[in-house]
Protein backbone atom coordinates (compact mmCIF):
# COMPACT_ATOMS: atom_id res chain seq x y z
CA UNK A 1 0.00 0.00 0.00
CA UNK A 2 1.33 3.44 -0.91
CA UNK A 3 2.56 5.55 1.97
CA UNK A 4 0.06 8.35 1.30
CA UNK A 5 -2.80 5.86 1.76
CA UNK A 6 -1.43 4.77 5.14
CA UNK A 7 -1.06 8.40 6.19
CA UNK A 8 -4.60 9.17 5.04
CA UNK A 9 -6.08 6.34 7.11
CA UNK A 10 -4.30 7.63 10.22
CA UNK A 11 -5.35 11.16 9.32
CA UNK A 12 -9.02 10.09 9.25
CA UNK A 13 -8.64 8.51 12.69
CA UNK A 14 -6.96 11.65 14.08
CA UNK A 15 -9.72 13.90 12.69
CA UNK A 16 -12.46 11.56 14.01
CA UNK A 17 -13.73 11.24 10.46
CA UNK A 18 -13.38 7.46 10.62
CA UNK A 19 -15.20 5.99 13.61
CA UNK A 20 -15.94 2.47 14.78
CA UNK A 21 -18.92 1.38 16.89
CA UNK A 22 -22.62 0.96 16.21
CA UNK A 23 -24.06 3.20 13.51
CA UNK A 24 -26.94 3.23 11.04
CA UNK A 25 -26.34 4.43 7.49
CA UNK A 26 -28.75 6.61 5.53
CA UNK A 27 -29.92 3.47 3.75
CA UNK A 28 -30.83 1.90 7.11
CA UNK A 29 -27.93 -0.54 7.30
CA UNK A 30 -26.44 -1.18 10.73
CA UNK A 31 -22.70 -0.75 10.35
CA UNK A 32 -19.67 -1.09 12.68
CA UNK A 33 -17.85 1.76 10.93
CA UNK A 34 -18.80 5.24 9.79
CA UNK A 35 -17.10 7.93 7.71
CA UNK A 36 -18.18 11.50 8.46
CA UNK A 37 -16.25 13.97 6.33
CA UNK A 38 -17.94 16.84 8.14
CA UNK A 39 -15.25 16.43 10.80
CA UNK A 40 -12.61 18.00 8.56
CA UNK A 41 -12.94 21.40 10.12
CA UNK A 42 -9.69 23.37 10.01
CA UNK A 43 -7.54 24.93 7.35
CA UNK A 44 -4.63 22.58 8.01
CA UNK A 45 -6.91 19.55 7.80
CA UNK A 46 -8.39 20.69 4.48
CA UNK A 47 -4.90 21.37 3.13
CA UNK A 48 -3.81 17.82 3.93
CA UNK A 49 -7.06 16.38 2.58
CA UNK A 50 -6.53 18.16 -0.72
CA UNK A 51 -3.07 16.63 -0.97
CA UNK A 52 -4.42 13.10 -0.56
CA UNK A 53 -7.07 13.71 -3.20
CA UNK A 54 -4.40 15.10 -5.53
CA UNK A 55 -2.34 11.91 -5.18
CA UNK A 56 -5.36 9.70 -5.90
CA UNK A 57 -6.42 11.79 -8.90
CA UNK A 58 -2.96 11.75 -10.47
CA UNK A 59 -2.58 8.02 -9.81
CA UNK A 60 -5.86 7.10 -11.52
CA UNK A 61 -6.57 9.80 -14.10
CA UNK A 62 -3.24 11.50 -14.62
CA UNK A 63 -3.20 15.27 -15.05
CA UNK A 64 -4.64 15.56 -18.56
CA UNK A 65 -7.88 17.26 -17.54
CA UNK A 66 -9.11 20.83 -17.25
CA UNK A 67 -11.74 21.13 -14.52
CA UNK A 68 -12.22 19.64 -11.05
CA UNK A 69 -15.97 19.71 -10.34
CA UNK A 70 -17.29 19.44 -6.77
CA UNK A 71 -21.07 19.05 -6.45
CA UNK A 72 -22.76 21.28 -3.86
CA UNK A 73 -22.38 21.34 -1.01
CA UNK A 74 -19.61 19.08 0.32
CA UNK A 75 -17.87 19.01 -3.03
CA UNK A 76 -17.30 22.77 -3.04
CA UNK A 77 -14.39 22.89 -0.54
CA UNK A 78 -13.05 19.60 -1.91
CA UNK A 79 -12.73 21.01 -5.43
CA UNK A 80 -10.96 24.10 -4.07
CA UNK A 81 -8.44 22.37 -1.81
CA UNK A 82 -7.66 19.57 -4.30
CA UNK A 83 -7.09 22.01 -7.17
CA UNK A 84 -4.69 23.98 -4.96
CA UNK A 85 -2.88 20.78 -4.01
CA UNK A 86 -2.55 19.71 -7.66
CA UNK A 87 -0.94 23.08 -8.43
CA UNK A 88 1.42 22.83 -5.44
CA UNK A 89 2.40 19.17 -5.83
CA UNK A 90 2.44 18.72 -9.58
CA UNK A 91 2.67 22.25 -11.02
CA UNK A 92 -0.55 21.67 -12.96
CA UNK A 93 -3.09 24.49 -12.90
CA UNK A 94 -6.59 23.03 -13.17
CA UNK A 95 -9.81 24.98 -12.81
CA UNK A 96 -12.24 24.36 -9.99
CA UNK A 97 -16.00 24.52 -10.41
CA UNK A 98 -19.13 23.73 -8.40
CA UNK A 99 -22.86 24.06 -8.85
CA UNK A 100 -25.33 26.11 -6.90
CA UNK A 101 -28.46 24.53 -5.52
CA UNK A 102 -30.40 27.56 -6.72
CA UNK A 103 -29.69 29.41 -9.97
CA UNK A 104 -28.42 32.93 -9.35
CA UNK A 105 -30.10 35.62 -11.46
CA UNK A 106 -27.92 38.64 -10.63
CA UNK A 107 -24.21 39.47 -10.47
CA UNK A 108 -22.33 36.25 -11.25
CA UNK A 109 -25.40 34.62 -12.77
CA UNK A 110 -26.09 30.99 -13.52
CA UNK A 111 -25.89 27.65 -11.78
CA UNK A 112 -22.08 27.42 -11.58
CA UNK A 113 -19.56 29.06 -9.28
CA UNK A 114 -15.82 29.11 -9.76
CA UNK A 115 -14.60 28.56 -13.29
CA UNK A 116 -16.98 28.10 -16.22
CA UNK A 117 -16.88 24.80 -18.10
CA UNK A 118 -16.11 25.28 -21.79
CA UNK A 119 -16.39 23.22 -24.96
CA UNK A 120 -13.66 20.59 -25.05
CA UNK A 121 -12.98 20.60 -21.32
CA UNK A 122 -12.18 17.32 -19.60
CA UNK A 123 -13.82 17.15 -16.15
CA UNK A 124 -13.01 15.11 -13.04
CA UNK A 125 -15.76 14.97 -10.41
CA UNK A 126 -14.75 15.01 -6.73
CA UNK A 127 -16.99 13.84 -3.86
CA UNK A 128 -16.63 12.75 -0.24
CA UNK A 129 -17.57 9.06 0.06
CA UNK A 130 -19.01 6.39 -2.21
CA UNK A 131 -22.45 7.31 -3.46
CA UNK A 132 -25.30 5.14 -4.69
CA UNK A 133 -25.42 7.22 -7.84
CA UNK A 134 -27.95 9.79 -6.64
CA UNK A 135 -25.52 12.70 -6.76
CA UNK A 136 -24.12 11.65 -10.14
CA UNK A 137 -27.66 11.60 -11.56
CA UNK A 138 -27.86 15.29 -10.72
CA UNK A 139 -24.27 16.24 -11.49
CA UNK A 140 -23.69 14.82 -14.97
CA UNK A 141 -26.58 16.69 -16.64
CA UNK A 142 -25.25 19.97 -15.21
CA UNK A 143 -21.77 19.28 -16.56
CA UNK A 144 -22.95 18.10 -19.98
CA UNK A 145 -25.29 21.09 -20.34
CA UNK A 146 -22.24 23.37 -20.47
CA UNK A 147 -21.22 22.22 -23.93
CA UNK A 148 -19.20 19.51 -25.64
CA UNK A 149 -17.37 18.40 -22.50
CA UNK A 150 -15.85 15.07 -21.45
CA UNK A 151 -16.52 13.74 -17.93
CA UNK A 152 -13.32 11.78 -17.23
CA UNK A 153 -14.04 10.20 -13.87
CA UNK A 154 -15.11 10.35 -10.24
CA UNK A 155 -12.87 10.39 -7.16
CA UNK A 156 -14.10 9.86 -3.58
CA UNK A 157 -12.21 9.69 -0.31
CA UNK A 158 -13.36 6.25 0.88
CA UNK A 159 -14.83 3.32 -1.03
CA UNK A 160 -17.05 1.52 1.50
CA UNK A 161 -16.97 -1.55 -0.78
CA UNK A 162 -20.61 -2.50 -0.27
CA UNK A 163 -23.44 -3.12 -2.66
CA UNK A 164 -25.15 -0.19 -4.31
CA UNK A 165 -28.60 -0.58 -5.86
CA UNK A 166 -27.89 -4.12 -7.05
CA UNK A 167 -25.22 -6.76 -6.46
CA UNK A 168 -22.26 -4.66 -7.59
CA UNK A 169 -20.48 -1.97 -5.60
CA UNK A 170 -21.79 1.57 -5.85
CA UNK A 171 -18.64 2.68 -7.69
CA UNK A 172 -18.84 -0.27 -10.10
CA UNK A 173 -22.48 0.59 -10.82
CA UNK A 174 -21.49 4.18 -11.61
CA UNK A 175 -18.74 2.98 -13.95
CA UNK A 176 -21.13 0.64 -15.75
CA UNK A 177 -24.06 3.04 -16.00
CA UNK A 178 -22.23 6.23 -16.93
CA UNK A 179 -18.98 4.99 -18.46
CA UNK A 180 -16.99 6.91 -15.85
CA UNK A 181 -13.74 5.74 -14.35
CA UNK A 182 -13.87 5.83 -10.55
CA UNK A 183 -11.31 5.75 -7.77
CA UNK A 184 -10.95 6.36 -4.05
CA UNK A 185 -8.09 7.56 -1.89
CA UNK A 186 -8.54 4.34 0.10
CA UNK A 187 -10.89 1.38 0.26
CA UNK A 188 -12.25 -0.11 3.47
CA UNK A 189 -10.17 -3.21 2.74
CA UNK A 190 -7.06 -1.02 2.89
CA UNK A 191 -8.31 0.59 6.12
CA UNK A 192 -8.72 -2.83 7.74
CA UNK A 193 -5.38 -4.03 6.39
CA UNK A 194 -3.56 -1.05 7.88
CA UNK A 195 -5.30 -0.89 11.27
CA UNK A 196 -6.07 -4.51 12.14
CA UNK A 197 -4.16 -5.62 15.25
CA UNK A 198 -1.74 -2.73 14.74
CA UNK A 199 -1.12 -0.24 17.52
CA UNK A 200 -1.58 3.40 16.59
CA UNK A 201 -0.82 6.06 19.19
CA UNK A 202 -0.91 3.48 21.96
CA UNK A 203 -4.18 1.86 20.91
CA UNK A 204 -5.25 -0.98 18.65
CA UNK A 205 -8.02 0.54 16.54
CA UNK A 206 -9.32 -2.68 14.96
CA UNK A 207 -9.04 -5.67 17.28
CA UNK A 208 -10.28 -9.20 16.70
CA UNK A 209 -13.82 -8.42 17.90
CA UNK A 210 -14.19 -5.37 15.64
CA UNK A 211 -12.64 -7.25 12.71
CA UNK A 212 -15.26 -9.97 13.20
CA UNK A 213 -18.05 -7.35 13.20
CA UNK A 214 -16.69 -5.82 9.98
CA UNK A 215 -16.47 -9.25 8.37
CA UNK A 216 -20.08 -9.97 9.37
CA UNK A 217 -21.17 -6.67 7.85
CA UNK A 218 -19.53 -7.49 4.54
CA UNK A 219 -20.99 -10.99 4.58
CA UNK A 220 -24.38 -9.28 4.61
CA UNK A 221 -23.85 -6.13 2.53
CA UNK A 222 -20.56 -6.61 0.73
CA UNK A 223 -20.13 -7.21 -2.97
CA UNK A 224 -20.57 -10.88 -3.77
Please state, in angstroms and as integers, the Cα–Cα distance from residue 146 to each residue in 72, 99, 103, 157, 186, following that order: 17, 12, 14, 26, 31
Which of 122, 128, 123 shows the shortest CA–CA distance to 52? 128
Q: What is the DSSP secondary-structure string of 144-155?
A: HTTSS-EEEEEE
Catalytic residue among 26, 106, 203, 224: 106
Number of neighbouring beta carbons within 10 Å of residue 24? 10
Give the span between the Cα atoms of 126 and 141, in whole angstroms: 16
- Active site annotation includes 30: no
Catalytic residue among 30, 47, 89, 104: 104
- Active site annotation includes 104: yes
Phi, psi of 72 (to 5 degrees): -65, 140
Residues taking part in catalysis? 104, 106
Amino acid sequence: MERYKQEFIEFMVDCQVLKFGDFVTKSGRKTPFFVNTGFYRTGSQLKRLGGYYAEAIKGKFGLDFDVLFGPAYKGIPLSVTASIAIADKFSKDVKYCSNRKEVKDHGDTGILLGSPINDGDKVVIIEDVTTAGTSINETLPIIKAQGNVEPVGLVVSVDRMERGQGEKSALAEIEEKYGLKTTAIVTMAEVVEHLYNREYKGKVIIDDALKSAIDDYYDKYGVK
